[in-house]
Amino acid sequence: MSRTIRTFEATITNQRQVRGDLDQLGWAASKLWNVGRYYAQEQWDETGEIPDDGELKAELKSHERYTDLHSQSSQRVLEELAEAFNGWFGKRRNGDDRARPPGYRKNGDSHPRSTVSFKAAGFKHDAQFTRVRLSKGRNLKEHRSDFILCEYQTRPDVDLTEWDIQQVRAVYKRDEWRLQFVCRTTIDPEPPGDEVAGVDLGICNFAAVSFGGESVLYPGGALKEDEYYFTKKKAKCDDSSSREATRLDRKRTGRRTHFLHALSKALVEECVERGVGTLVVGDLDGIREDDENGDSRNWGDHGNLDLHGWAFDRFTTLLEYKAEAEGIDVELVSERDTSKSCSACDHTDDSQRVERGLYVCDECGTVANADVNGAENIRQKVLPSLATDGGDRDNGWLAQPAVHLFDRSEGVFAPREQVVNREP
Ligand SMILES: [Zn+2]
């Protein structure tokens, strides 16, 4: 959980007045869950695939049960259902045979009271009188402006006016309804420190990060493998607009997005741990121009895939968003010459060749991982005062980055045991 999001629980002080209405919504949420669960089962039997939340929403939005709740509340129920299926898939992939798919929410003839979520359009908060107005769906409204007005009480040390309420949840707990306020702080978070890190984006190493003195590589192999897999599978489809082809496209997008989320999350966590307050990212326009030199920026002999620009743009957006939540400033700088200059002595050589991923400086003799050298050059663009003292510093780290690999089964990036060169 991000440090800037917090959930506060409150008791409802007019429980008796709102209980009946909240019961109706809680039961409605269970019924909608069951409708979604049933639809997912049908799809599973027919195609062997479980629909994602986008498909569930599109299919069920005209269903009668959908309009029992505010549309955003109904959407949330179906998102939860899709998340529950994803969790089950994850466990099965990890070899947990006992994992059960999400079940129906039914207890004999009665439905349990499910949690009901209200997003921005579904609630109205009145801080002055500590009450909140919750929307019902069209079906359950007795008249146009029928809503549920809950008066609440939080812990005395909580002041909701200091927070920006993103979502309100009605939760049935210990025989009564309670409210949960999911909040974002309105105060900018303090940066984790004043260190500066540089990020070089590329194809083989999707991201190379220099912390100045240490570096980490995040290879893009998993993304690339997916790309081949889906391209191949799609080629087998008779018709590129068929249902199967559409399903593959959607799945591919989901996998890409997950990879980029996991990567940006891992990178920001690394920055927080190292007290980074400024993250300098090489501007993408440079990458597209850099193709004259080919080499590491290219997909090699597999040709260029459309992934390219899309993934870098999307990744930068995710990175900015996640870094901002931690108080880290993201600066975009031009990548020009960052692959041709030596980050140790600043020597620039246009004819500089990168061989087997290594940058070797003719001037000072520094040997660096080419992507780390690029990342360090990017980092130095916002550190103009840095002494370029060449051989005086120990530059060994430039050639020995740590590698964090994408772990498919866990869906996260994790450090790979560093392979240390031993004496022969
Ligand atoms: Zn040099």
Instruction: Identify the residue whose tokens are 């040390």.
Output: 157
User: Ligand 1 centre from 355 Cα, in Å?
Assistant: 16
User: Ligand 1 centre from 341 Cα, in Å?
Assistant: 8
Residue 122 domain flag:
yes
Q: Name the band, by pLDDT with cuts 50, 70 and 90, for residue 394.
A: confident
pLDDT at 296 over 50: no
What is the mean predicted confidence (pLDDT) over 401-411? 89
pLDDT of residue 81: 96
pLDDT of residue 297: 42
Instruction: Give percent of the chain with pLDDT exceeding 90.
Output: 52
Please tell me whether residues 246 and 155 are part of one structural domain. Answer: no
User: Ligand 1 centre from 271 Cα, in Å?
Assistant: 27
User: Ligand 1 centre from 377 Cα, in Å?
Assistant: 12
Residue 111 domain flag:
yes
Please tell me whether residues 226 and 105 are part of one structural domain. Answer: no
- Tell which of 187, 210, 233 closes a domain: 187
The whole-angstrom separation of Cα 15 and Cα 177 is 7
**Between residues 380 and 392, which one has the greater pLDDT?**
380
Please tell me whether residues 182 and 227 are part of one structural domain. Answer: no
Please tell me whether residues 24 and 109 are part of one structural domain. Answer: yes
Q: Which of 107-111, 178-182, 301-305, 306-310 has the highest mean pLDDT?
A: 178-182
User: Ligand 1 centre from 349 Cα, in Å?
Assistant: 10
Please tell me whether residues 66 and 213 are part of one structural domain. Answer: no
Please tell me whether residues 165 and 229 are part of one structural domain. Answer: no
pTM for the complete prediction?
A: 0.55
Residue 423 domain flag:
no
Packed helices 243-273 and 307-325: angle between N→C axes, nearest 10 degrees: 40
User: Ligand 1 centre from 391 Cα, in Å?
Assistant: 8
- Tell which of 168, 187, 206 closes a domain: 187
Rg value, the chain, Cα: 26
pLDDT at 237 over 60: yes
pLDDT of residue 396: 85
Please tell me whether residues 157 and 233 are part of one structural domain. Answer: no
**Between residues 213 and 385, which one has the greater pLDDT?**
213
User: Ligand 1 centre from 312 Cα, in Å?
Assistant: 29
pLDDT at 183 over 80: yes
Please tell me whether residues 229 and 358 are part of one structural domain. Answer: yes
Q: Name the band, by pLDDT with cuts 50, 70 and 90, for residue 411.
A: confident
**Between residues 393 and 154, which one has the greater pLDDT?**
154
**Of the listed ranges 213-227, 306-320, 353-367, the one predicted with least confidence:** 306-320
Residue 424 domain flag:
no
Residue 208 domain flag:
yes
Q: Which of 55-64, 157-166, 303-312, 388-397 has the highest mean pLDDT?
A: 55-64
Token pair for 132 = 């909140």
Residues lining ion ligand 1 (Cβ < 5 A) are 342, 344-345, 347, 361, 363-364, 366
Residue 307 domain flag:
yes
> Please, are residues 9 and 180 in contact by the beta-carbon 8 Å criterion?
yes
- Pairing verdict, β 176-185 and 195-201: unpaired
CATH number at residue 260: 3.30.420.140
Q: Name the band, by pLDDT with cuts 50, 70 and 90, for residue 424.
A: very low
**Containing structural domain, residue 20:** 2-187
Instruction: Give percent of the chain with pLDDT exceeding 70.
Output: 87
Residue 360: what are its φ and ψ, rounded to 5°?
-120, 125
> Please, are residues 180 and 7 in contact by the beta-carbon 8 Å criterion?
yes
Residue 6 domain flag:
yes
Q: What is the pLDDT of residues 5-40, one digit of tens each?
A: 889 999 999 999 999 999 999 999 999 999 999 999
Please tell me whether residues 241 and 142 are part of one structural domain. Answer: no
How many domains would you assign to the chain?
Answer: 2
Three-state SS for the chain is CCCCEEEEEEEECCHHHHHHHHHHHHHHHHHHHHHHHHHHHHHHHHHCCCCCHHHHHHHHCCCHHHHHCCHHHHHHHHHHHHHHHHHHHHHHHCCCCCCCCCCCCCECCECCCCCEEECHHHEEEECCCCEEEEECCHHHCCCCCCEEEEEEECCCCCCHHHEEEEEEEEEEECCEEEEEEEEEECCCCCCCCCEEEEEEECCCEEEEEECCCCEEEEECHHHHHHHHHHHHHHHCCCCCCCHHHHHHHHHHHHHHHHHHHHHHHHHHHHHHHCCEEEEEEECHHHHHHHHHHCHHHCCHHHCCCCHHHHHHHHHHHHHHHHHHHCCCEEEEECCCCCCCECCCCCCECCCCCCECCEEECCCCCCEEEHHHHHHHHHHHCCCCCCCCCHHHCCCHHHHCCEEEEEECCCCEEEECCCCCCCCC
Please tell me whether residues 183 and 212 are part of one structural domain. Answer: no
Residue 396 domain flag:
yes
- Tell which of 133, 153, 187 closes a domain: 187
pLDDT of residue 2: 42
Please tell me whether residues 161 and 229 are part of one structural domain. Answer: no
Please tell me whether residues 312 and 276 are part of one structural domain. Answer: yes
Mean pLDDT, the chain, rounded, equals 86
pLDDT of residue 303: 39
